[in-house]
Amino acid sequence: MAAYPFSEIEPKWQKFWDENKINKIEDDFSKPKYYILDMFPYPSGAGLHIGHPEGYTATDIIGRYKRMKGFNVLHPMGYDAFGLPTERYSMQTGIHPKEVTAKNTKNFTNQLKALGFAYDWDRTVNTTDESYYKWTQWMFLKIYNSYFDEILQKAMPIEFLSIPENLVSQEEIDAYIDSQRLAFIAMIPVNWCEELGTVLANEECDEWREKGYTVERKPMRQWMIRITKYAQRLLDDLEIVEWPHSTKEMQKNWIGKSEGAEIDFFVPSIQKNIRVFTTRPDTLFGATYMVVAPEHGLVNELTTADQKAAIEAYITTSSLKSDLERTELNKEKSGVFTGSYAINPATGAEIPIWIADYVLAHYGTGAIMAVPGHDLRDNEFAQKYSLPILKVVENKENLDFDVTKEAFCEDGYAVNSEKSEVSINGKNTPEAKSIISNWLENKGIGKKKIQFKLRDWLFSRQRYWGEPMPIMFFEDGTRRGLDEDELPLVLPNVKDFKPAGTGESPLANVEEWVNFIDKKTGKKARYETNTMPQWAGSCWYYLRYIDPQNPEIFAAKDKEEYWMGDGGIDLYVGGAEHAVLHLLYARFWHKVLFDYGVVSTPEPFKKLFHQGLIMGLSYRNKNNVLIPNDLVESKDGKFFDTRNGEELEEIVAKMSKSLKNVINPDDVIKDFGADSLRIFEMFLGPLEASKPWSKSGIEGINRFLNRAWRLIATEESTLSDSVQDVPMTSDQEFALHCTIKKIGEDIENLSFNTAVSQMMIFVNEFTSAEIKSKEAMEKFVLCLAPFAPHLCEELWRILGHTNSIVLEKYPEYDITKTVKSEVEIVIQVTSKIRGKLIVPLDADQSAVEELAMKDESVLKHLDGKPIRKVIYVKNKLINFIV
């Protein structure tokens, strides 16, 4: 039997939707809105992979369903097109990144259109368009021209910054202003890759190292963004969004708030304090030594003559290590004594000061008080270097706990913590913390302190293919950000994308662009040659979809308020790999805009959902070696290596070129059609789960769509004679109304796999009927339409309609028809099933009991024993306890 003609009808309706602007979105403020967003793709040369259609189909189904329910739905698509892979490709081929990007986006667009997604392509955005990155630059300047007001806890225009009175010279004032900006220049150690000629983000290093590149630590001039100022708000506002628990936890951990105290330790030999941060001020009496990071500013002063050689050697060794190497698994701690001593402010004792790279320069103050009795790391270090270990916290459960062998890090109560001025002996840990903190504060040698792990955002890249930073520098060392009327600062057209070789981007080589006379000041000027990271453009793209062509502003206020109303984007779907960085940067960016009142919500993404990965199947032998799929043959459900006949185990593995298990969406569309691909990806399993692709699974889905087609249409694509205006049987009515109800509910809950199985149940129910109710067929096609839009558009015409099914309403169901008039209930004897009974819906207990008592098997198991108790659950079961 012939398959339904998907290869004809799919392109036909795609063209129809395009030409008739069926997916056009109007800013009709009278309708309730629904804004549903996908994470936009990076248009790589490889094209769409099989994972893309998963999340995109899910949102397409919801968008189409919501539209059928009367919502004005914004479901846009665009491209995150700046990025290193394109630039690398250009360096190798000499083809300009702009051309590469245009070609790749065109290819992506064609592939997305072939999947039948209902995007309004007039609303598409591309981060590399001048008219787009003009606003990325505009927003960067907003950040640059802001300081963070600690009292208001928000960004304020830099003009409002109050200048300390002791600053008089313009130079000092400018320096102060620059030191307060939310975007600033700093010399910091970065991950520099010489061959790529650029810095890399920490999370990018591994990837490039694996490809054989060398990445080293090196201090360089970089743009930073003070995201740390927003740490508390980024943490607090996680409470107001509906996000996956795990993602919220990851962001919380990343922000890493900890409460404790800063304490000054006096060093008599240099007459200076070393400030430490600790979360356990209650253990101050147990601080028997101090450790400062090798990069700490006081190391030179602290180092005595006889320790100098050892300290310098240690510093050299640790500076050669990258962050990653320094933290490599459970490596043994090392350190060197500086020769100096500090005074423990609680005990008055002289304690040695060491340097060790287990103390991180960038966290806290870069120095710690070491309490080896009650900190695992300090304990390990103290044991290794025979430093004294004191017990100052008692373990209630085990009074004999020996802290010289193992640290006790939990709460307990304080011991050996007493002097004339203060005592915390006998106090529990929280109380002891508070008493010590207050005492320190009164003495002026410490204060309570909240510390975050979050670090400032390294915002510059030494690349060509990114947004130019809209900043110019003058010869006198001053600089200015561009004004709005000077934007966009357009990337110059260059032929050579190789790095400048000076640690600057290729832009530094573009003499005619980089050096110029500033029209506004008449001064000789030079543009910043760094560009922005890829994250920048993706921080706000969801706002541009709202008003993509607007030349005056990134989005008109009324449109922004409408589409972002009710707490922001109604649903954002994308991979969990962006759980921290993209989602944290975008939240930060949005909050700055919120502080300026140009967006109306404190958070951009009200509800977030991560789709799982689509995996491939792979095979491994007894030595755990993965065998590429083209070297595997299957026989009787078992798998063998074609080279030596060795039996292999089938496992689920990420799709990869080397394993030859990559599925190409174009091939699937060619073989089974876009509708089959869409539904199959939904049917694989729960959207959030990772699940393996299955060749026979998609055949099953294709079979299902063929069955659905044959229910209504003939081989000649006309209405089947068996579809007539006839009443439904009660079973058919039940199936139809359950289907309408369940599919609607499942879409709302993102349970697409169970929605698809309900459709199969419907088709199974009606397949056996010789005559099918036309009404049932029409309502079913409407339910199926969000999932299989091409097939349903065609069936809708076959059923005699002339309007596009996209514009139809989702059918209503009758709740009374979703319950059967008779139900089967289970008879149990002492909780074991002994019989079944058909009774009217909501039958009362006595009637059921009477009927149940007639059941042979029940009587046999009751065996005349006295019934102790009867449990009756209406419409479910009756249970006799004997």
Partner RNA sequence: GCGGUCGUGGCGGAAUUGGCAGACGCGCUAGACUUAGGAUCUAGUGAGGAGACUCGUGGGAGUUCGACUCUCCCCGACCGCACCA
- Here the tokens at position 328 are 């490599």
Binding mask 763-782 for RNA (x = CB under 7 A): -x--xx--------------
Tokens at 636, concatenated:
């009787």
Nearest approach in angstroms of CB 452 to RNA is: 8
Taken in order 855, 856, 861, 865, is the CA torsion positive or negative? positive
Alpha-carbon span 76 to 605, nearest angstrom: 15
State which residue, 220 or 653, has the beta carbon closest to RNA: 653
Q: Which of 105, 137, 191, 751 binds RNA (CB under 7 A)?
A: 751
Task: Give the bridge partners for 260, in sequence order.
Answer: 449
Q: Within 10 Å of residue 418's Cβ, how many Cβ atoms?
A: 15
| Burial class, 259, CB count within 10 angstroms (exposed 0-12 / middle 13-18 / buried 19+) | exposed
Q: Is 363 in the site for RNA (CB under 7 A)?
A: yes
Under the binding rule (CB under 7 A), the answer on residue 183 touching RNA is no
Smallest separation (angstroms) from RNA to the CB of 842: 14
3-state SS, one letter per residue, for 291-341: EECCCCCCHHHHCCHHHHHHHHHHHHHHHHCCHHHHCCCCCCCCEEEEEEE
578 contributes a contact to RNA by CB under 7 A: no
- Out of 93, 110, 694, 846, name the contact with RNA by CB under 7 A: 694
Q: Which of 95, 490, 867, 881 binds RNA (CB under 7 A)?
A: 881
For the CB of residue 48, give the shortest distance to RNA in the complex, in Å.
22
Determine the interface stretch with RNA among 85-93, 361-369, 431-439, 518-526 (rule: CB under 7 A): 361-369
Q: Compute the distance between CA of residue 90 and CA of residue 100 in angstroms, rounded to an integer.
A: 8
The dihedral built from the CA positions of residue 213, 218, 219 and 224, taken in this order, carries a sign that is positive
CB of 469 to RNA, least distance (A): 27
Chain positions 421 to 460 lying near RNA, rule: CB under 7 A, are 451, 453
Among 25, 293, 390, 614, binds RNA (CB under 7 A): 293
Q: Does 478 bind RNA (CB under 7 A)?
A: no
Please count the CA atoms within 13 angstroms of the CA of 388 that sit on its side-chain side: 12
Question: How is residue 169 annotated by DSSP?
Answer: S
Judge whether 147 and 156 are in contact, CB under 8 Å. Answer: yes
684: contact with RNA by CB under 7 A: yes
One DSSP character per residue, 836-864 reads EEEEETT--HHHHHHHHTT-HHHHHHHTT
Q: How many beta carbons lie within 10 A of that of residue 92, not counting itself?
A: 9
Residues 6+ apart with CB under 8 A from 844: none
Q: Is 624 near RNA (CB under 7 A)?
A: no
Name the amino acid, one letter, at 319: S
Binding of RNA at residue 686 (CB under 7 A)? yes
Q: Given the complex with RNA, which of 83 and 364 has the nearer CB atom? A: 364
Per CB under 7 A, the list member of 46, 833, 847, 867 interacting with RNA is: 833
Whether omega for the bond prior to residue 727 falls within 30 degrees of 0, making it cis, is no
Q: Least CB distance from residue 336 to RNA, whole Å?
A: 14
CB atoms within 10 A of CB 354: 23
Q: How far is the CB of 625 from RNA (least distance, A)?
A: 15
Are 735 and 779 in contact by the 8 Å Cβ rule? The answer is no
Structure tokens at 861: 């198991």
> Structure tokens of 543?
């706002």
What is the DSSP-derived secondary structure letter of residue 228? G
Query: Contact between 582 and RNA (CB under 7 A)?
Result: no
| Given 93, 246, 319, 502, the residue binding RNA (CB under 7 A) | 246
> Does 245 contact RNA by CB under 7 A?
yes
For RNA, the closer CB: 47 or 244: 244
The correct pick among 107, 425, 600, 754 for binding RNA (CB under 7 A) is 754
Reference 73, options 473, 569, 520, 608; nearest CA is: 569
> Which of left, alpha, beta for 597 (phi over 0: left; psi -120 to 50: alpha)?
left
Q: Return the number of the residue (530 or 661) whose C-beta is nearest RNA.
A: 661
Report the residue from 122, 249, 731, 812 that binds RNA according to the rule CB under 7 A: 249
Q: Which is nearer to RNA, 277 or 439 (CB)?
A: 277
Q: Does 133 bind RNA (CB under 7 A)?
A: no
Q: Which of 349, 487, 500, 580 binds RNA (CB under 7 A)?
A: 580
Of 663, 577, 540, 630, whose CA–CA distance to 132 is shortest?
540
| Residue 706 in contact with RNA, rule: CB under 7 A | yes
Specify the 3-state DSSP secondary structure of 511: helix
**Nearest CB to RNA, comparing residues 249 and 483:** 249
Positions in 321-350 near RNA (CB under 7 A): 323, 326-327, 329, 331, 333
707 scored as a contact of RNA (CB under 7 A)? yes
- Which region among 96-104, 137-145, 400-408, 685-693 touches RNA (by CB under 7 A)? 685-693
Q: CB of residue 434 vs RNA: minimum separation in angstroms? A: 15
Q: Which of 412, 692, 786, 811 binds RNA (CB under 7 A)?
A: 692
- What 426-432 contacts at long range (C-beta under 8 Å, 24+ apart), as own/partner pairs, is 427/282, 429/280, 429/282, 429/393, 432/282
Q: Is 46 in the site for RNA (CB under 7 A)?
A: no
Beta bridge partners, 341, equal 352
Residues binding RNA: what is the number (CB under 7 A)? 86
Burial of residue 411 (CB within 10 Å: 0-12, 13-18, 19+) is middle
Q: CA–CA distance from 527 to each of 125, 312, 503, 505, 523 (Å)?
A: 27, 39, 15, 12, 12
> Which residue's structure tokens are 């994250």?
535
From residue 106, alpha-carbon distances to 81, 111, 151, 663 in Å are 12, 9, 49, 21
Indicate the residue among 117 and 693 with the shorter CB distance to RNA: 693
Selected from 685, 719, 797, 859, the binder of RNA by CB under 7 A is 685
Q: What is the DSSP letter of 811?
A: P
Please tell me the distance from the alpha carbon of residue 834 to that of residue 636, in angstroms, as a whole number. 40
Binding residues among 191-220 for RNA as defined by CB under 7 A = 203
761 near RNA (CB under 7 A): yes
The footprint of RNA on residues 371-410 (CB under 7 A) is 371, 375, 377
Among 46, 320, 689, 841, binds RNA (CB under 7 A): 689
Residue 274 or 368 having the CB closest to RNA:
368
Task: Output the smallest distance, CB 872 to RNA, in A.
Answer: 9
Nearer to RNA, 711 or 806 (CB): 711
Backbone angles phi, psi at 46, to 5 degrees: -75, -15
Q: Establish if 602 lies at the interface with RNA (CB under 7 A).
A: no
User: x-or-dash pattern for RNA, window 711-750, by CB under 7 A?
Assistant: ----------------------------------------
Answer for which of 216, 577, 646, 667 binds RNA (CB under 7 A) is: 577
Q: Is 803 helix (H, G, I), strand (E, B) or coil?
A: coil
Q: Pick from 1, 151, 807, 815: which binds RNA (CB under 7 A)?
A: 1
Q: Which of 161, 238, 626, 826 binds RNA (CB under 7 A)?
A: 826
857 forms part of the interface with RNA (CB under 7 A): yes
Q: Is residue 224 close enough to count as binding RNA by CB under 7 A?
A: no
Residue 683 Cβ vs RNA, minimum distance, rounded to whole Å: 7
